[in-house]
């Protein structure tokens, strides 16, 4: 495959910018959650820095919507086709079986969360050089359903627990931070990002951690045979 | 432990999975029950329009990503995939496939490799009994027996398999059924190998 392949329009590398590897994630995606560790391991093994970026999924726009009743088990309201339900159920089951291998808990969600404030908190943490610490403290409790990520006070507490000064976060989140988040999301979506985790490397863009072998192959200089897709570990 | 693999010849992801799955079988010695399945065809990326809403744009981005994945990974495997959005009937191929599964299982992988390669090179109509039987004959199989099976029990067998796969919840291809688990996609082959080998060594994550 040529490096100038028309498959990959220039807008992908323009979106990547100066980063060697840019990765889009969303707190409310179980697939993003289980991709964090292998992505970090892969990057660490190659000495590559990751430019993490928030991408807030607009799930109802493509997967319909649903809300659980107060009992947390039955569906109170839904605008989903049978095919969409089947896809959603499989996605959770699939994420769960991989998560369980590393001791992670993924509970079914109660609603489609608005994770934009959490995305803004990611940007705040990134500004403070503590993106990893923040998501390490936010992902596990969120997926145990112990975290209301729409509550700014909860996010302030997570930031503080991650040794990040949260003073001014709330004001920033309602102004400059929100604008930055929206700009990042719109630029990504306009370029073709539609899910998480999405990876930008050289001129290529990929969705899903199964492409990590190819991303590593590209970062290593495309030596040898190009690998296929696989969900695999990158432990040293 | 037996591995069941359900493939839809009309889906490029099934073709991309065929070689790596055969490789897994060779390396692990697992017995594979190859089954034909019909799933939803790929969506062609829509043409942009001024009034596209976010959902339409999302689906287009996804379809374009899948198209890139097919092209890039087919190239990496040295496979030719022409016209990836084809749909159409596959009854003759399914019937022959199921006959071979029972009467000549040792030849089934060779038959599938040839059938998939010719289909994706626009050189096989999976609904043409003549073309499918000729292909089977080229694999050293009994053309007359396959014709007779197709005229008799072949369709019922295909319908029964389709019903069993639907009952198992299979809705995509390639589908891997191992014990109570269903996996969609060749990206799961490391996990399937790990499970087949008794969870020995580090988990594939």
DSSP states along chain B:
-EEEEEE-TT-HHHHHHHHHHHHHHHHH--EEEEEE---PPPPPPPPP-TT--HHHHHHHHHHHHHHHHHHHHHHHHT-----TT-----HHHHHHHHHHHHH-HHHHHHHHHHHHHHHHTT---TT-HHHHHHHHHHTT--HHHHHHHHHTTHHHHHHHHHHHHHHTT--SSSEEEETTEEEESGGGHHHHHHHHTTS-SS---
In a domain, A40, yes or no: yes
Calculate how close chain B gets to A234, using CA atoms only, in Å: 8
Query: Which of B178, B176, B156, B48 shows the shortest CA–CA distance to B98?
Result: B156
Please report the pLDDT score of residue A232 as a whole number.
94
Residue A116 CB: number of other CB atoms within 10 A?
Answer: 22
Cβ pair B62:A194 closer than 8 A: yes
Residues B179 and B157 in one domain: yes
Residues B29 and B98 in one domain: yes
In a domain, B203, yes or no: no
Cβ pair B55:A94 closer than 8 A: no
DSSP A1-17: --TT-TTS-HHHHHHHT
> Are the C-beta atoms of residues A118 and A155 closer than 8 Å to each other?
yes
Q: How many domains does chain A have?
A: 1
Interval A73-83 mean pLDDT: 66
Handedness of CA A55, A57, A58, A63 (dihedral sign): positive
Residues B96 and B128 in one domain: yes
State pLDDT tens for residues B2-53.
999 999 999 999 999 999 999 999 999 999 999 999 999 898 999 999 999 9
CA B41, B45, B47, B52: dihedral to nearest 10 degrees? 100
- Residue A77, pLDDT above cutoff 70: no
Domain residues for the domain of B179 are: 2-40+86-196
- Residue A2, pLDDT above cutoff 50: no
Q: Are strands A21-25 and A50-54 parallel, antiparallel or unpaired?
A: parallel
Residues B135 and B46 in one domain: no
In a domain, A37, yes or no: yes
Low-confidence residues of chain B: pLDDT under 50: none
> Are the C-beta atoms of residues A206 and A215 closer than 8 Å to each other?
yes
Interval A34-62 mean pLDDT: 94
Calculate how close chain B gets to A166, using CA atoms only, in Å: 33
Please report the pLDDT score of residue B127 as a whole number.
97
Burial of B187 (0-12, 13-18, 19+ CB in 10 A): buried
For residue A89, what is the nearest residue in chain B, using CA coordinates?
Answer: B169
Please report the pLDDT score of residue A76 as a whole number.
60
In a domain, A148, yes or no: yes
Residues B136 and B147 in one domain: yes
User: In whole angstroms, what is the distance from residue B123 CA to residue B130 CA?
Assistant: 13
For residue A2, what is the nearest residue in chain B, using CA coordinates?
Answer: B72
Run of H or E including A153: helix A152-161
ipTM of the complex: 0.95
Contacts of B59 in chain A (CB under 8 A): 62
Percent of chain B scored above 90 by pLDDT? 96
Last residue of a domain, one of B52, B85, B118: B85
In a domain, A97, yes or no: no
Residues B121 and B181 in one domain: yes
In a domain, B61, yes or no: yes
Interval A127-137 mean pLDDT: 98
Chain B interface test: which of A39, A104, A194 (most B C-beta within 10 Å): A194
Cβ pair A228:B77 closer than 8 A: yes
Contacts of A197 in chain B (CB under 8 A): none
State pLDDT tens for residues A171-229.
999 999 999 999 999 999 999 999 999 999 999 999 999 999 999 999 999 999 999 99
In a domain, B123, yes or no: yes
Please report the pLDDT score of residue A73 as a whole number.
57
Which of A1, A194, A235 is facing B72, going by the closest CB pair? A1
Contacts of B57 in chain A (CB under 8 A): 189
Higher pLDDT, B135 or A88: B135
In a domain, B125, yes or no: yes
Residues B159 and B77 in one domain: no
Confidence band for A1, pLDDT divided at 50, 70 and 90: very low
Residues 6+ apart with CB under 8 A from B114: B135, B138, B139
Confidence band for A82, pLDDT divided at 50, 70 and 90: confident
Judge whether B55 is closer than 8 Å to chain A, CB to CB: yes
Contacts of B18 in chain A (CB under 8 A): none
User: In whole angstroms, what is the distance from residue A227 CA to residue A224 CA?
Assistant: 9
In a domain, B204, yes or no: no
CATH number of the domain residue A146 falls in: 3.40.30.10
In a domain, A41, yes or no: yes
Confidence band for A72, pLDDT divided at 50, 70 and 90: low
Please report the pLDDT score of residue A59 as a whole number.
79
Residue B110 CB: number of other CB atoms within 10 A?
Answer: 16
Please report the pLDDT score of residue A166 as a whole number.
98
In a domain, B150, yes or no: yes
Cβ pair A225:B76 closer than 8 A: yes
Judge whether A79 is closer than 8 Å to chain B, CB to CB: no
In a domain, B73, yes or no: yes
- Residue A66, pLDDT above cutoff 90: no
Chain A interface test: which of B55, B61, B63 (most A C-beta within 10 Å): B61
Residues B130 and B46 in one domain: no
Domain residues for the domain of A130 are: 10-58+113-219
Window 181-210 of A, Cβ < 8 Å to B: 189, 192-195, 205-208, 210
- Residue A69, pLDDT above cutoff 70: no
Residues B166 and B73 in one domain: no
Contacts of B71 in chain A (CB under 8 A): 1, 7
In a domain, B202, yes or no: no
Judge whether B199 is closer than 8 Å to chain A, CB to CB: no
Residues B116 and B30 in one domain: yes
Residues B107 and B179 in one domain: yes
Q: How many domains does chain B have?
A: 2
Residues B169 and B74 in one domain: no
């Amino acid at each position: 495959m040529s490096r100038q392949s028309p498959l990959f329009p220039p807008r992908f590398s323009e979106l990547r910018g100066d980063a060697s590897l840019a990765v889009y994630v969303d707190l409310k995606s179980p697939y993003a959650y289980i991709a964090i560790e292998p992505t970090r391991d892969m990057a660490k093994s190659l000495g590559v820095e990751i430019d993490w970026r928030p991408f807030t999924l607009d799930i109802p726009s493509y997967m319909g919507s649903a809300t659980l009743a107060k009992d947390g088990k039955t569906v109170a309201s839904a605008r989903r086709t049978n095919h969409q339900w089947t896809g959603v159920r499989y996605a959770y089951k699939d994420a769960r079986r991989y998560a369980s291998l590393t001791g992670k808990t993924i509970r079914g969600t109660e609603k489609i969360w608005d994770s934009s404030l959490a995305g803004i908190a990611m940007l705040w943490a990134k500004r403070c050089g503590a993106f990893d610490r923040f998501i390490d403290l936010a992902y596990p409790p969120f997926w145990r359903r112990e975290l209301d990520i729409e509550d700014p006070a909860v996010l302030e507490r997570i930031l503080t627990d991650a040794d990040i000064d949260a003073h001014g976060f709330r004001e920033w989140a309602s102004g400059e931070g929100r604008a930055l988040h929206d700009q990042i999301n719109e630029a990504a979506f306009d370029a073709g990002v539609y899910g998480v985790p999405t990876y930008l490397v050289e001129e290529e863009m990929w969705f899903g951690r199964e492409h990590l072998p190819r991303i590593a192959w590209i970062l290593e200089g495309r030596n040898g045979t190009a690998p296929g897709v696989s969900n695999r570990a990158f432990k040293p | 432990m037996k591995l069941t693999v359900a493939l839809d010849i009309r889906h490029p992801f099934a073709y991309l999975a065929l070689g790596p799955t055969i490789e897994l079988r060779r390396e692990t010695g697992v017995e594979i029950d190859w089954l034909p399945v019909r799933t939803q065809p790929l969506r062609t990326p829509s043409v942009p329009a001024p009034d596209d809403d976010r959902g339409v744009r999302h689906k287009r981005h996804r379809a374009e990503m899948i198209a890139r994945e097919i092209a890039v990974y087919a190239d990496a495997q040295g496979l030719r995939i022409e016209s990836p959005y084809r749909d159409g009937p596959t009854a003759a191929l399914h019937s022959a496939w199921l006959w071979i599964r029972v009467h000549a299982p040792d030849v089934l992988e060779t038959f599938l490799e040839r059938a998939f390669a010719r289909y994706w090179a626009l050189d096989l109509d999976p609904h043409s009994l003549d073309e499918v039987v000729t292909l089977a004959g080229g694999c050293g199989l009994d053309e007359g027996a396959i014709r007779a099976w197709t005229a008799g029990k072949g369709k019922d067998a295909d319908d029964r398999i389709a019903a069993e796969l639907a009952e198992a919840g299979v809705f995509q291809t390639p589908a891997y059924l191992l014990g109570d688990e269903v996996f969609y996609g060749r990206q799961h082959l490391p996990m399937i190998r790990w499970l087949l080998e008794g969870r020995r060594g580090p988990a594939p994550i």
